[in-house]
Amino acid sequence: MQQDEYADVDLTGKVSVITGAGRGIGLAFARTLCEHGAQCILAELDAEMGEEAAKGLQAEGLNARFWPLDVSDPAAVEAVARQVWGEYGSLDIWVNNAGLARHQPSEEVSLENWQTGIGVMLSGTFFGCQSAGRIMLAQGGGSIVNVASVNGLAAQPGRAAYNSAKAAVIHLTATLGCEWAARNVRVNGIAPNVFLTELAMASMTYSGAASLETYIRRCPARRLGEMPELLGTLLFLVSAHSGYITGQTLRVDGGFVSDHYL
């Protein structure tokens, strides 16, 4: 799949915020939104990485900026949303992507680990939806995309907080999608299978995890997903192509979750 298959997705002038955009999927999301005309704020916890990522996109001639953000801090999320609205006059796309991979037997998980996982991936997603939603409802429309995971639909041992947060994100997406549908604010999700980022590699190297080969054998498509396939899903969800779609989480997983056949 080539990215220019989405050449008709014109996001010119759309103001977008992508959380956790310093690297991996978030950075790829920011690049593709920029390439389709959007102005992107890379909202990232790691300032050095965020700066570097934004500079890289600027060097490619793209309209990107880094703003520091810890998504688990609701006041900080609200401040970023308000500041974007104040500076740009609109907020059209908000992608809740920030996440982290921690693996541990559940009986050993500390309170801090549990709270961080839930705080970043569930509460952080809610705070992003709420702060962006307030503005989008006031301005008469917008599109929010939440990055869930196949782990929100099928469990993986050793990732209690991650799996629980991602499952809740899928239901949060459905809830807000219904709640705001009549007011032109769409809330959708993406549930990826394995895409080779640092987070995914950390999952693979955890001693209790399946190997890459096992994943591929277990996946009906018999291959990993390629980044353009994830980017295409994002472009679909933020464009008019999906104008009557809300509250849904699309699995981008090569059939992984559908298949229970051994």
Ligand X SMILES: NC(=O)c1ccc[n+]([C@@H]2O[C@H](COP(=O)([O-])OP(=O)(O)OC[C@H]3O[C@@H](n4cnc5c(N)ncnc54)[C@H](O)[C@@H]3O)[C@@H](O)[C@H]2O)c1
- Provide the CA 87 distance to its chain's centre, in angstroms: 24
Near ligand X by CB under 6 A: residue from 72, 123, 143, 249: 72
Which strand (E) or helix (H) includes residue 92?
A: none
Near ligand X by CB under 6 A: residue from 15, 20, 92, 247: 20
Q: Does 120 bind ligand X (CB under 6 A)?
A: yes
Closer by beta carbon to ligand X, 83 or else 243? 83
Closer by beta carbon to ligand X, 183 or else 250? 250
Q: Rounded to the nearest 10 degrees, how much is the dihedral formed by the CA atoms of 3, 100, 192, 255?
A: 140
For residue 218, what is the DSSP state? H
Binding-site residue total for ligand X (CB under 6 A)? Answer: 30
Closer by beta carbon to ligand X, 24 or else 133? 24
Cα distances (angstroms) measured from residue 259 to each of 5, 159, 217, 219, 256: 28, 21, 12, 8, 6
Site string for ligand X, 139-158 (x = CB under 6 A): --------x-x---------
CB 145 within 8 A of CB 195: no
Near ligand X by CB under 6 A: residue from 98, 160, 227, 234: 98
The region of 70-78, 102-110, 175-183, 206-214 touching ligand X under the rule CB under 6 A is 70-78
Q: CB neighbours (10 Å) of residue 135?
A: 20
Q: Does 200 bind ligand X (CB under 6 A)?
A: yes
CB 242 within 8 A of CB 39: no
Q: Tell which residue, 200, 92, 101, 202, has the closest CA to residue 145.
A: 92
What span, in angstroms and rounded, lies between the C-alpha atoms of 147 and 59?
27
List 6, 88, 162, 215, catalytic entry: 162
What span, in angstroms and rounded, lies between the C-alpha atoms of 96 and 124?
8
Subset of 22-41 contacting ligand X (CB under 6 A): 22-26
Minimum distance of ligand X from residue 201's CB (angstroms): 9
Q: Is 261 labeled as catalytic in the residue annotation?
A: no
Structure tokens at 150: 């196949």
- Provide the CA 228 distance to its chain's centre, in angstroms: 15
Q: Does 118 bind ligand X (CB under 6 A)?
A: no
Minimum distance of ligand X from residue 180's CB (angstroms): 22
- Provide the CA 209 distance to its chain's centre, in angstroms: 23
Site string for ligand X, 156-195 (x = CB under 6 A): ------------------------------------x-xx
What residue ranges bind ligand X (CB under 6 A)?
19-20, 22-26, 44-46, 49, 69-72, 97-100, 120, 124, 147, 149, 192, 194-195, 197-200
Catalytic center residues: 162
